[in-house]
Chain A
Amino acid sequence: MAANVALLGDAPFLILQLLLDGLMIGAIFAVAAYGMALVWGVMNVINVVQGELVMLGGFIAYQLTLWGLSPLWGVPVAAIVLYFVGAGLHHVVIRRVADRDMFISLLATFGLSILLQQLMNQIWGGDVKTAQSGLGTWFLLDYTVTVSQMKVAAFGGAIAIGAVLIIFLKRSRLGQAIRATAQNPRAARILGIDTNRVFAATYGINAALCGAAGALVVMAYSVHPYIGLPYTVRSFMIVIVAGLGNLPGVIVAGLGLGAAENFAGFILGVQYQVAFVFCLLVVILVIRSTLLQRRRQFLK
């Protein structure tokens, strides 16, 4: 471990490499996190199945390559398919638990995540899957730093998806209805907004975001039925750190998490990278509760 830290000091280009890789995957984290914040803010549901939706998007893009299509088509196709998957999940499960105790919706979405994991395992098998996009690699600084073009494309794609979403929420009728419902569902209903439809659309849009993110993940990285939960936890951490409805915060937290995770994976060893994610979750929650505690004492 100390040797790895020393190595970073000796070879500064490694720092640049880890930072670049981390920032590029961080943008994908931010997309999934933004979807989670949307569902959390509008419906008051913490969506534990988030990561499995990302994986499902990845598997759909992978399936397209099996049919001879370019996985780049996976981004729109997975988004559209996942929109309907999300709307369906909302109709069958989420709408029945959304107004109940948050533990119920946590457990229900956790059950959904086990269900999706196992379904994906049955359909696509328990191997790690990637999809070749056919893009190459750039070499920078005398071949010391490599930049995969696909990762850059994924980074750009993530930013573009985020931009489209923001314009949609600001400008479109549905986007305005979603924001109104987030502010005050009761008032929105009085003003004639069909909040049930808004909830279904919100959940569907979240799923579509996850699907697009997943298609980027399968091209730039890899997917596996059982590695969805880390994506859920990453989204959750980003949302807590940034706060609901704080888009610049989500982007900064997402990029920061990506970089932090890459450095931790290098210093602690790759086998501990997932452990780092979950430990970081606990640490962030402890810090958060300590801060809240302090504020309450101050008010008292």
Chain B
Amino acid sequence: MSGHRQPLLMLAVAAVGVALPFVIPDYRAQIAMLWALVIMAQTWDITGGQTGYNSFGNILFFGVGMYASVVVQRDVGLDFFPGLVLGMVVGAGIAAALAVLLGSMILRMRGHYFAIATLGLGIAAGEIAGGWDYLGAGSGLSPPLFPAPPGTANLFFAYLYFGVAALVFVALAALYRTRFGLALNAIRDNEDKAEAMGLHTGVYKVTAWTMAAFVLGLVGGAMGNMLGFVDPRDTAFAGATFGVWMVLMAILGGKGTLWGPVLGAVIFHITQELLWTHLLGWQRVALGVIIVGIVVFFPQGILGWARTRWPARHEHQGHGSERA
């Protein structure tokens, strides 16, 4: 993706995003899910691809947002839309605060220890929520009904997630060009050197993770309402679905690139929707096979592969070199 074609591509994607819910109105729920997955992959890549800190537990922030939002809607007593907005903001705020608190402790760990610590956090959160009566314990919570005919709910969420995805994309595109983005890449490429150059690596890492957490909190906050139920292990802290998917999508598209997570999410979601109905009961087995297959045979992702295939087209786009 060379520089002068970037805006054109963004416009094209934006046009598709605006038109899609009316071109194929039967698939509005899937479209909303598609953009939500795009956001998850994008935010995973902030720490995973750009900073080199591969998290298995970003699902924590998603689930916290989902629970916080539904609890606010249940307990504050606002109308649907003000309640949803307040809930999403509160959820995102709690998720961000958690990221600061936990991040300052566990982002000091290098590499795989961080990955395993985050894995533990994501599962621990699900187990705690599953035992906590205030959060409905094992049976979870039910969000309020959407106050309009069923079809419009999916239309609303499709545009909501599309809007957030577009905002996140533009913000990340700008962010990765700044000194901040370069600092993240420096940490990924050689953290000791980055530190020796005088970068406060801890601050950069925690800030990056907090940004991801905030956005994931928003996504989770709306997802509870979209799916219609909050279950501690199956929807909120769903490590075996959303939790792995976000890592997988970013890797599939090409981690550490701007478009990679978007591309990965689109391909993954479409493949999944096409295949899943034919695989009754065996979907998750197939997911395991897909994970292993991609990780073992295609770890550089589509854009990473394209970059080694046609190096000349990418050379001025400095960031994104894969650290083996």
Seen from chain A, the residues whose Cβ lies within 8 Å of a Cβ on chain B are 46, 93, 96-97, 100-104, 106-108, 110-119, 121-122, 229, 233, 236, 269, 271-272, 274-275, 278-279, 281-282, 285-286, 288-290, 293
**Interface contact A115-B112, CB-CB below 8 Å:** no
User: Given known contacts A93-B296, A102-B111, is B120 in contact with A112 (CB within 8 Å)?
Assistant: no
In the complex, whether B19 has a CB less than 8 A from a CB of chain A is no
**Interface contact B127-A274, CB-CB below 8 Å:** yes
A108 to B296, CA, bound (A): 7
CB distance from A281 to the nearest CB of B (A): 4
Partner of B124, one of A93, A122, A282, A290: A282
B323 CB contacts on chain A under 8 angstroms:
101
In the complex, whether B167 has a CB less than 8 A from a CB of chain A is no
B297 CB contacts on chain A under 8 angstroms:
96
- A116-B288, A271-B130, A275-B127 known; 16 new pairs, CB 8 Å cut-off, are A46-B112, A101-B324, A107-B251, A108-B292, A110-B56, A111-B291, A119-B288, A236-B116, A271-B137, A281-B117, A281-B120, A282-B106, A282-B117, A285-B109, A288-B113, A289-B105
Of chain B, the residue at the smallest CB distance from A103 is: B54
Give residues of chain B (258-312) contacting chain A, Cβ–Cβ below 8 Å.
281-282, 284-285, 287-292, 295-297, 299
A229 to B243, CA, bound (A): 15
**Interface contact B299-A115, CB-CB below 8 Å:** no
A275 to B126, CA, bound (A): 8
B105 CB contacts on chain A under 8 angstroms:
286, 289
B324 CB contacts on chain A under 8 angstroms:
100-101
In the complex, whether B128 has a CB less than 8 A from a CB of chain A is yes
Leading 9 A-B pairs by shortest Cβ distance: A115-B288, A111-B291, A275-B127, A278-B124, A271-B131, A281-B120, A111-B292, A114-B288, A118-B284
A254 to B303, CA, bound (A): 45
User: Given known contacts A115-B288, A282-B121, is B127 in contact with A107 (CB within 8 Å)?
Assistant: no
Of chain B, the residue at the smallest CB distance from A113 is: B288
* Most central of A102, A122, A281, A285 by chain B CB within 10 Å: A285
Of chain A, the residue at the smallest CB distance from B111 is: A102
**Interface contact A285-B116, CB-CB below 8 Å:** yes
**Interface contact B285-A118, CB-CB below 8 Å:** yes
**Interface contact A278-B292, CB-CB below 8 Å:** no
**Interface contact A289-B295, CB-CB below 8 Å:** no
A119 to B288, CA, bound (A): 10
Of chain B, the residue at the smallest CB distance from A112 is: B292
A247 to B124, CA, bound (A): 28
**Interface contact A282-B120, CB-CB below 8 Å:** yes
CB distance from B236 to the nearest CB of A (A): 14
Partner of A111, one of B112, B131, B137, B295: B295
A104 to B282, CA, bound (A): 25
**Interface contact A103-B111, CB-CB below 8 Å:** yes
In the complex, whether B37 has a CB less than 8 A from a CB of chain A is no
User: Given known contacts A101-B324, A102-B111, A285-B116, is B124 in contact with A275 (CB within 8 Å)?
Assistant: yes
Partner of A115, one of B108, B113, B285: B285
Q: Size of chain B's interface in residues, with CB distance under 8 A?
A: 43
A-B CB contact pairs (8 Å), 15 listed: A46-B116, A103-B111, A106-B56, A106-B116, A111-B288, A114-B240, A114-B287, A115-B291, A118-B287, A229-B123, A275-B128, A278-B124, A282-B120, A282-B121, A286-B106
A118 CB contacts on chain B under 8 angstroms:
282, 284-285, 287-288
User: Given known contacts A46-B112, A108-B292, A115-B285, is B299 in contact with A100 (CB within 8 Å)?
Assistant: yes
Main secondary structure of the interface of A (DSSP, over half): helix
B128 CB contacts on chain A under 8 angstroms:
272, 275
A112 to B294, CA, bound (A): 12
**Interface contact A102-B112, CB-CB below 8 Å:** yes
B281 CB contacts on chain A under 8 angstroms:
122
Of chain A, the residue at the smallest CB distance from B123 is: A278
A106 CB contacts on chain B under 8 angstroms:
54, 56, 112, 115-116
**Interface contact B295-A107, CB-CB below 8 Å:** yes
**Interface contact B117-A114, CB-CB below 8 Å:** no
Give residues of chain B (124-152) contacting chain A, Cβ–Cβ below 8 Å.
124, 127-128, 130-131, 137-138
B291 CB contacts on chain A under 8 angstroms:
107-108, 110-111, 114-115
A288 CB contacts on chain B under 8 angstroms:
109, 113
Contact bitstring B38-75, A, C-beta under 8 A = 1, else 0:
00000000000000001010000000000000000000
Partner of B106, one of A113, A271, A275, A285: A285
CB distance from A250 to the nearest CB of B (A): 18
**Interface contact A119-B113, CB-CB below 8 Å:** no
Of chain A, the residue at the smallest CB distance from B241 is: A114
CB distance from B237 to the nearest CB of A (A): 11
CB distance from B293 to the nearest CB of A (A): 8
A275 CB contacts on chain B under 8 angstroms:
124, 127-128, 131
Of chain B, the residue at the smallest CB distance from A236 is: B116
A289 to B285, CA, bound (A): 36
B247 CB contacts on chain A under 8 angstroms:
107
A117 CB contacts on chain B under 8 angstroms:
240, 284, 288
Partner of B285, one of A102, A119, A229, A236: A119
B137 CB contacts on chain A under 8 angstroms:
271
User: Given known contacts A100-B299, A285-B117, is B244 in contact with A110 (CB within 8 Å)?
Assistant: yes
A102 to B112, CA, bound (A): 7
User: Given known contacts A236-B116, A289-B109, is B121 in contact with A272 (CB within 8 Å)?
Assistant: no
Of chain B, the residue at the smallest CB distance from A121 is: B284
